[in-house]
Chains A and B, each alone.
Chain A
Amino acid sequence: MNFDKELDARGLNCPLPILRTKKTLAELTGGQVLKIVSTDPGSVKDFQAFAKQTGNELLSSTEGGGEFVFFMKKK
């Protein structure tokens, strides 16, 4: 999937992946896509909840090799 910026949130625990995502999204413009890589298993539910509450669209959420990859489109 194409993306405009990548955020490495590996090794960070709650709530840092969400806080960093919020900060990084602020640097993008509406419609741009942010790729986030996390190792926090709790982030799967958290990114769904973040998208639902902020209106940013979670395009995909995948898991592999102990890493969680999210693509989020800024509203």
Chain B
Amino acid sequence: MSKKLAIIATKGTLDWAYPPLILASTAAALDYEVQIFFTFYGLQMLRKDLSGLKVSPLGNPGMPMKMPFGPTWFRGINWNIPNAIQAIIPGFESLATVLMKQTIKNNGVASVETLRDVCVESGVKIIACQMTVDLFGFEHSDFIDNIEFGGAATFFEFAGETDICLYI
């Protein structure tokens, strides 16, 4: 019998979309039976339009701010921009997101959409939290096909029998 992995995905930023999708797709490749419960901001990962996934350097001291282009010495510079400055520049998050997506591409890292496609293709069961869908005013038609809508009890039905259970 195959091993089982359950993940609760709660984050709605570009960077935090990676851990649940990487782990789920890899586990599926290792013949795990996988289920992901997407709740609160994690729902952003299931929308047909993924442009809501952005990265914010604001209040995130762990995030290196490096340029994904130019000569090596230029790429090595860590742009230490104070939070107060970041906060007042319009479009700062969009700019950071564009730069992050280029960095992702430069490093041969998969896009969120690719990883999500692999999850769907490899039979990862995807549950969207109906309560948060209502709370945030989303429609079922906002989301990709091949997903189910359910609640906490639905999650536990599978999670109670898993070998690994993660909250991300």
Contacts and interface: CB of A to CB of B under 8 A. Distances in A.
Asked whether A and B interact, the reply is yes
A9 to B, nearest CB: 9
Given A50-B30, A53-B31, A19 B108 contact: no
Nearest to B109: A13
Given A13-B107, A15-B26, A50-B29, 7 more contacts: A11-B108, A13-B108, A15-B25, A15-B29, A19-B25, A19-B26, A19-B118
Interface string B62-79: 000000000000000000
Interface string A1-45: 000000000011111101101100000000000000001100000
A54 B26 CA distance: 12
> What class of interface size applies to chain A in its complex with B?
10 to 19
Nearest to A16: B110
8 contacts: A12-B108, A13-B107, A18-B26, A19-B25, A19-B26, A22-B29, A54-B30, A54-B31
B22 A14 contact: yes
Contacts of A53: 30-31
A16 B109 CA distance: 8
Contacts of B110: 12-13, 15-16, 19
B147 to A, nearest CB: 20
Contact of A18 (B29, B31, B107, B109): B29
